[in-house]
Amino acid sequence: MVKLIGVNKINTSVFISGKGTNLKNLIKFSKSNNSPIKINIVISNQKKAYGIKYAKKNKIKIKIINFSKKHEVNQLLKILKFNNIRLICLAGFLKILSKDFIKSFKGKIINIHPSLLPKYKGLNTHERVLENNEKFTGCSVHFVNEKLDGGKIILQKKIKIFKKDDIKSLKKRVLKEEYKLYPKSIIKILSNY
Ligand code: GAR
């Protein structure tokens, strides 16, 4: 693969709500030579989101916005356009984006979800997967459209569920796969950019 130096990388924003371990992983990925992205700005809808510390540590701009007021969202759109953001990665971002917002970044917003979509859209996926005695689970990276967890799938990884698995172990095992799948998916969609 061609080496991408800083200036050639795609300006990217990562949206988070909580722990931010996917953000941490994407920051690490963005710094590697084969990464097509540069993370310019992190958006959190929670001012106490633990993941903000990864942005701070890496001197990445942070904006806290709770997405309930239209003028705030409009201001965010201006910031994203000003920073020439061409890719938005949702990483544990638990707010639903408005149709207008999605339209403004059509085809440029992607999300990671801890299930084998189209199964188990929404929250508490691991609980529901275990309750239903599923034999397999996994994670999916998909384009974001106006339907919840409903956009075109970019890549998925399937894993087997063991008898001894509980919510905690499953979450941990799925997250481990997420850290590989998100960078792979980004490379996949940006390789034709
Ligand atoms: C991840 O498992 C991600 O797939 C999931 O939240 C977790 C965030 O972890 N996202 C969703 O459930 C979105 N519907 P992180 O904050 O440590 O990256």
pLDDT at 192: 65
Specify burial of residue 79 (Cβ count, 10 A radius: 0-12, 13-18, 19+).
middle
For the record, the structure tokens of 48 come out as: 């106490």
How far, in Å, is the centroid of ligand 1 from the Cα of 72?
24
pLDDT at 158: 98
Q: Taking the domains of the chain in order of start, what are their residue ranges?
A: 6-190
pLDDT digits (tens, 9 = 90+) for 84-121: 999 999 999 999 999 999 999 999 999 999 999 999 99
How far, in Å, is the centroid of ligand 1 from the Cα of 132?
21
Query: Measuring CA to CA, which residue among 88, 74, 85, 75 is closest to residue 151?
Result: 88
Which amino acid makes up residue 81? K
Which amino acid makes up residue 177? E
Largest CA distance in the chain: 50
Residue with CA at minimum distance from ligand 1 atom 18? 22
Residue ranges, the chain, pLDDT below 50: 1-2
What is the side-by-side strand order in the sheet with 153-160? 61-64, 37-44, 10-16, 87-90, 109-113, 136-143, 153-160
pLDDT at 1: 43
Whether omega for the bond prior to residue 114 falls within 30 degrees of 0, making it cis, is no
Q: Which residues line ligand 1 (CB under 6 A)?
A: 16, 18-22, 51, 91-92, 112-114, 175, 178
Q: Give the CATH number of domain 6-190.
A: 3.40.50.170
User: Are the beta carbons of 145 and 151 closer than 8 angstroms?
Assistant: yes
pLDDT at 4: 53
User: Are the beta carbons of 98 and 23 closer than 8 angstroms?
Assistant: no
pLDDT at 2: 47
User: Are the beta carbons of 27 and 60 closer than 8 angstroms?
Assistant: yes
User: Are the beta carbons of 189 and 120 closer than 8 angstroms?
Assistant: no
pLDDT at 7: 60
pLDDT at 52: 98
